[in-house]
Copies of this chain bind each other. A is one copy, B any other.
Amino acid sequence: MIRVLIAEDHTLVREGIKQLLSMADDIEVVGEASDGDVLFAALRETACEVLLLDMTMPGPHGIEAIKRIAALPQAPRILVLTMHNETQIASRALKAGASGFATKDSEPTMLLAAIRKVAAGRRYIDPALADRMVFEMGMGDARPPHETLSEREYQIFELLVSGVSVTEIGERLSISSKTVSTHKIRLLQKLNLTTTADLVRYAFEAQLFTPGV
């Protein structure tokens, strides 16, 4: 029996996934979490083989959450579930310790297959996504510009898009605002943009982030 923990903030989606998983005889949902803090509490108390993890949820989330989970003793296999099929995010997630990457575009049967695969210690990547990853990685500089951003730049990119000021980013990350500003300038150059407004528009057009988080 594969024990699965579902981390997904939208109740409706979470319940829907539970319903879908209940169709499989070899999969059992042993817990769920609606935000990052609840998730870490659940992980401490509930043993499971697979964690179904949404990338965007309140509290600790995303790449950082994956790193923390992967570092836990008896860490479950992590199957990332996301709305967008961004190669960028996928490769970062896998690098951070995730075992698989599925999008919400997937067929339900594919999700079951993905869970079984990562539970067995193998990797799973959404086929369409894997295709694009291979293609884009092979193309070198034909990759979308945002994939050339460094970790730090990407982190600041996200914060800027979500409306946090340069000064406050500095405070949150405990670095000088000057440093944040430098990262901002560099990432703007990489993306060939000039203003913060451009940045937000870029993020929306590339559908990198979920609005309203």
Contacts and interface: CB of A to CB of B under 8 A. Distances in A.
Nearest to A81: B12
A59 B106 CA distance: 19
Contacts of A212: 83-86, 201, 205
Contacts of A83: 10, 210, 212
A127 interface: no
A4 to B, nearest CB: 14
Interface of A: 9-13, 15-17, 19-20, 81, 83-86, 103-108, 111, 160-165, 193-201, 204-205, 207, 210-213
Contacts of A200: 196-197, 200-201, 204
Oligomer: number of copies? 2
12 contacts: A12-B13, A12-B107, A12-B111, A16-B17, A16-B19, A162-B197, A163-B197, A164-B195, A196-B197, A196-B200, A197-B199, A205-B213
A71 to B, nearest CB: 27
A104 B12 contact: yes
A10 B12 CA distance: 13
A79 B103 CA distance: 25
Given A12-B103, A83-B210, A201-B204, 8 more contacts: A10-B83, A12-B106, A13-B13, A19-B20, A84-B210, A163-B193, A205-B211, A205-B212
